[in-house]
Amino acid sequence: MSNSPEQTGPAEKPKKPALPPSRIAVLIFVAVAAVVIVLELRARMAFNSSYEAIDAAMINAEQTGKSFYRKDVGQLLSGSPTREADQDNSELLTWHGILQTYRIRVYFGAGDFVQRIQTE
């Protein structure tokens, strides 16, 4: 009986998968968390930007004596808020994040000029 090199070589170890299931689960969790964070930040940044722009326009209108009207509000909005007109001569602007909803209520006076804004 002769010993061939094939029979005397070290026993082959079974191949491990490239990524164990626990690591795949962690990577999926991190990816989902990143998407949630990005979408939430996007809604929050659009809300903040819109609020600051409307507030600055109101201050500018007060200082210059010019009126700031309902039609001008739409030009200052960032993102894509939903707009709901209410019976009390106000409009609710809503930005939807995954975890939170951001709202600005704009109140209008006679003649559709912006009277005040309020966050909810």
Q: What would the pLDDT profile of 6-39 be if each residue is shown by its tens digit?
A: 555 566 777 776 878 899 999 999 999 999 999 9
Q: What is the pLDDT of residues 102-113, one digit of tens each?
A: 999 999 988 888
Residue 4 lies inside a defined structural domain of this protein: no
Residue 87 lies inside a defined structural domain of this protein: yes
Residue 74 lies inside a defined structural domain of this protein: yes
Residue 11 lies inside a defined structural domain of this protein: no
Task: Give CA separation, 86 vs 37, 50, 74, 83, 98, in Å.
Answer: 32, 20, 16, 10, 25
Residue 7 lies inside a defined structural domain of this protein: no
Distance of alpha carbon 34 from alpha carbon 12, whole angstroms:
40
Distance of alpha carbon 107 from alpha carbon 118, whole angstroms:
8
Nearest by Cα to 81 from 37, 120, 46, 36: 46
Residue 9 lies inside a defined structural domain of this protein: no
Residue 26 lies inside a defined structural domain of this protein: yes
How many other C-beta atoms can be found within 10 angstroms of the C-beta atom of residue 37? 12
**Domain total of the chain:** 1
Domain coverage including residue 85: 20-119
Phi, psi angles (nearest 5°) of residue 72: -80, -20
Distance of alpha carbon 78 from alpha carbon 73, whole angstroms:
11
Q: Specify the pTM.
A: 0.77
Q: What is the pLDDT of residues 82-100, one digit of tens each?
A: 999 988 899 999 999 999 9
